[in-house]
Amino acid sequence: MTDSLDPGRATTIRESFASQSLMTSFSAEMTALGPGQCEVSAPIPATARQQHGAGHAGLTFALGDTAAGYAALSLMPDGAEVMTAEMKINLLAPARGDRLIATGRVVKAGRRLTVVTAEVSAETDGQHRLVAVLQGTMVPVPAA
């Protein structure tokens, strides 16, 4: 995934990501961005666990949803913002490891609806294990 978006566009997207306080709370970073693709990575913080000490489904969801949303936004016209209309997640394994890596991808970009998928993997000592897959719909909204 190469950062081959228009530089102004990429900056706008990265600023939008940086303004999501939930991503900051999770110490998440946008680790890659390209046309129709986005990767978001985060540790599995002690503040975002479920009752067994693994990452909470809400953390996994938030990372996958965010990666998918910015993948969608990368193909929308300037001045648009993006909102999740709906998203489905299947959880495959507990979110344990050094960090989570969410990769969002546009399946079909449309004027009114953009269909996206995302995968979330857990990385432990350089090994990756798929922990969740997501499939959903993003819609453009006018920028605030």
**Binding footprint of a copy of itself on the chain (CB under 8 A):** 16-17, 19-22, 24-25, 46-52, 56-59, 61-63, 65-66, 81, 83-93, 107-108, 112-113, 115, 117, 130, 133, 135-137, 139, 144
Least spacing, CB of residue 62 vs a copy of itself, in Å: 3
Helices 57-73, 7-18: axis angle to 10 degrees equals: 150
Q: Shortest gap between Cβ of 112 and a copy of itself (angstroms)?
A: 6
- Say what the alpha-carbon torsion angle 74, 75, 77, 83 is, to the nearest 10 degrees: -70
- The set of residues, in sequence order, having a beta carbon less than 8 Å from that of 2 and lying 6+ positions away, is 34
| Tokens 């709370």 sit on residue | 25
Closest CB to a copy of itself among 1 and 92?
A: 92
Query: Cβ closer to a copy of itself: 2 or 8?
Result: 8
Contacting residues for 22 by C-beta, under 8 A, at least 6 apart: 62
Between CA 122 and CA 14 the distance in angstroms is: 23
Rounded to a whole number of angstroms, the minimum distance from the CB of residue 107 to a copy of itself is 6
| 5 or 132: CB nearest a copy of itself | 132
Who's near 19: CB < 8 A, 6+ residues apart? none
Name the residue nearer to a copy of itself (CB basis): 2 or 111.
111
Minimal distance, residue 120 CB to a copy of itself, in Å: 12
